[in-house]
Amino acid sequence: MKRLKPVNVVIVGGGWTGLAMAAEVTRRTSLNVLVLERGPMHRTKDYASTMDELDYSIRLRFMQNIADETVTHRHSAKNPSVPVRQYGSFLPGSGVGGAGEHWNGNSFRYSPEVFRLASHLKERYPATVLPESLAVQDWGISYEELEPYYWRVERMMGVSGKAGNLRGKLIDGGNIFEGRREFEYPTPPLKRSYFMTLFEESVKKLSYHPYPVPAATLSEAYRNPDGISRPGCAYCGYCETFGCMIGAKAQPTNTLMPLLSQRNNFELRTGSWVRRLVKESQRVTGVQYTNEAGEEVFQPADVVILASFTLSNVRLLSLSGIGTPYDPASGKGTLGKNLTHQIMTKLNLFFDHPMNAFMGTGALGTAISDFDGDQALKGTEGILRGGSLLAISTGNRPIQSFDTLPPGAVPSNWGSQWKKTALTWRDKVGTIVLFGEHMSYRQNFMDLDPTYTDKFGDPLLRLTLDWTDHEQRQRQFSYGIFKNIAREIGAAAHAAAPPVHPYTVTQYQSTHLQGGAIMGTTRANSVVNTSLQHWDAPNLWVVGASSFPQNASVNPTLTVLAVTYRAADALIDQYLKHPGALA
């Protein structure tokens, strides 16, 4: 195998976390940094010609090609696994910027108690109430430690929003349930769609506390501390699964790449498919990858930063034999444990007048956190954690929104009567969503599949994952809230209670898969320490949502980046000065 010229730092993955690490190391040190990205380059100027629902939302041109590599799924360790043959429940991105190019831009902070969930549950509930299989852990870091890093990410992106807790003072119109913020958002909230105004009026009448969804999409022109200027949002409705053609939505290619491309200690190699990390005794010596020409090469490096998607981070560690695979039967081992996703429950509200819902932007919405965490729970709901509720105006595109009808409105889903009914209800729909907190359980984990392989013949990652009674009850709980809102808002119709069903790979939840290489305070309970340094190899750092011990209710990107910047500080300020395991 060809051995390439050594570099100081090699980073696997050119998405938000990989490029953020690269930006910090190249800014603050003279070390040379190489980013290996399997997909192609993306640029803002190319995005206008991608405003095509068919190729980008249906055929998913910005996603990893599932024909090359996928994951397998089984509901429990007793079942055989089968491959996810077509994308459904999550959409991993490919190319420079990764999923950070085609995300919606929802930029919430996690609430303080999320970081000490295991302790919090023990304080709040008697032990008998907690499911035996519950595997939640404290993160080992606190909200207070992360607050300055959250602020850094918010300024880098120019997050638009309204503070609800400014230095301890609760502010009406912001999220009064959020953790203490030191500063107001860098840019004011986005404009409000018609549906958002209807939602806001109704939930206020129900004594809830609506606030604008914090968005990585600018409400007005903004220049960030790095000197990068971007314009305000145009509400074109092409956000999720698309790149922003004007750069209003913060993406790695319009915030970090402009800095990196100016730095002579930075190199990016696209079309580079990393296959293995190579570990010798207590060190990782570099990575093996297949380059654009199809050759297998070895890239030596002093420091390796694994910064790909959750699933790829866990798979690469597993394929490389780094760490001890988790065994659900004995509870021993840590690699692959605490796989979580997100329990999304959705309700379409039907109105008798038009919404003009083709206008919007990915993170345009009004949220309420009154049911987040456990502040609203009386103990009779049969659940330990709730979730965040959003009324969204992401922008309805015609193919995916056409067949949206009140349940039972028409017996068939084709033919004259169906068409007429669909046209009658066209553009009279508003959607509310509850993102439920998904806790970790002993039986939900990741390992390598014994049967199915990728295009190179390497084993696929296997997800063992199902909803428990808790998630089914969260769905029912969501529906109870939805019904009250539907009544108050005066909806002409809405859907029935969601059915109880097992985890479904064909149904979109979110791309917020988490865990598998979780952070913690001891090597016995985690794969990486709280600085995201691997316990078994001090020159290996594993960044991303793979480090989250369980899922919070809201979108993870802001938190992913906050812990990444914190890891960058630990790498630069501590490790590089005294290479070795951090105390």
Partner 1 sequence: MRRREFLAIPAAALGGSLWYTLAGQPIRTNPDKGTLHIPLRFFTATEAQTISAACERIFPSDESGPGASEAGVVVYIDRQLAGPYGRDQFRYTKGPFVSSLPEHGYQGKATPREIYREGIGMLGAFSSLSAEQQDQKLKSLEETVFFQMLRIHTIEGMFCDPMHGGNAGMIGWQLIGFPGPQMGYRQDIDAHYGSAFRPQSKSLEQILGHPVRVLEDT
- Is residue 43 within the footprint of partner 1 (CB under 8 A)? no
Tell me how far, at minimum, the Cβ of 386 lies from partner 1, in Å. 25
For residues 455 and 451, give the distance between their C-alpha atoms in angstroms, rounded to a whole number: 13
Dump the DSSP string for 49-102: GG--HIIIIIS-TTB--TTT--EEEESSTTSPPEE--S--S---B-STBTHHHH
Nearer to partner 1, 66 or 495 (CB): 66
- Is residue 95 within the footprint of partner 1 (CB under 8 A)? no
For 176, 308, 312, 454, the CA distances from 317, given in Å and listed in that order, are 40, 11, 8, 16
Q: Quick check: is 534 catalytic?
A: no
Of 20-28, 342-350, 377-385, 409-417, the segment contacting partner 1 by CB under 8 A is 409-417
DSSP-derived 3-state class of residue 395: coil
- Is residue 61 within the footprint of partner 1 (CB under 8 A)? yes
For residues 430 and 144, give the distance between their C-alpha atoms in angstroms, rounded to a whole number: 37
Per-position b or e across 305-333, b if 16+ CB within 10 A of its CB: bbbbbbbbbbbbbbbbebbebbebeeeeb
Catalytic residue among 42, 102, 341, 512: 512
Residues between 354 and 373 that touch partner 1 (CB under 8 A): 354, 356, 358-360
Q: Which tokens go with 359?
A: 């206008």
Tell me how far, at minimum, the Cβ of 93 lies from partner 1, in Å. 15
Of 67-75, 106-114, 432-440, 558-566, the segment contacting partner 1 by CB under 8 A is 67-75
* Binding map of partner 1 across residues 418-447, x = CB under 8 A, - = no contact: -xx--x--xx--------------------
- Is residue 487 within the footprint of partner 1 (CB under 8 A)? no
Q: How many helices (H) and strands (E) would you count in the chain?
A: 13, 22
- Is residue 379 within the footprint of partner 1 (CB under 8 A)? no
Task: Report which of 233, 236, 234, 230 is spatially closest to residue 253, judged by C-alpha positions.
Answer: 230
Contacts of 224 (CB under 8 A, 6+ apart): 155, 156, 157, 158, 186, 230, 255
The neighbour count for residue 184, using CB atoms within 10 Å, is: 14
Task: Report which of 156, 144, 149 is spatially closest to residue 186, judged by C-alpha positions.
Answer: 156
Nearer to partner 1, 331 or 415 (CB): 415
Contacts of 239 (CB under 8 A, 6+ apart): 103, 104, 105, 217, 249, 360, 361, 362, 363, 394, 395
Nearer to partner 1, 84 or 322 (CB): 84
Nearer to partner 1, 375 or 504 (CB): 504
Q: Which of 144, 226, 295, 403 binds partner 1 (CB under 8 A)?
A: 403
Q: Which tokens go with 136?
A: 């939640």
Nearer to partner 1, 66 or 376 (CB): 66
- Is residue 155 within the footprint of partner 1 (CB under 8 A)? no
Residues between 443 and 462 that touch partner 1 (CB under 8 A): 451-453
Q: Which of 77, 399, 492, 582 binds partner 1 (CB under 8 A)?
A: 399
Residue ranges of E strands in 465-549: 493-494, 540-542
* Binding map of partner 1 across residues 245-264, x = CB under 8 A, - = no contact: xx------------------
For 7, 408, 539, the CA distances from 3, given in Å and listed in that order, are 12, 64, 20
Burial class (CB in 10 A: 0-12, 13-18, 19+), 426: middle
Residues between 203 and 242 that touch partner 1 (CB under 8 A): 232-238
- Is residue 497 within the footprint of partner 1 (CB under 8 A)? no
Residues between 166 and 195 that touch partner 1 (CB under 8 A): 191-194
- Is residue 197 within the footprint of partner 1 (CB under 8 A)? yes
Q: Give residues in contact with partner 1 (CB under 8 A).
A: 48-49, 51-55, 58-61, 65-67, 70, 73, 75, 80, 82-86, 88, 191-194, 197, 232-238, 245-246, 353-354, 356, 358-360, 397-399, 402-403, 413-416, 419-420, 423, 426-427, 451-453, 501-506
Residues annotated catalytic, as ranges: 512
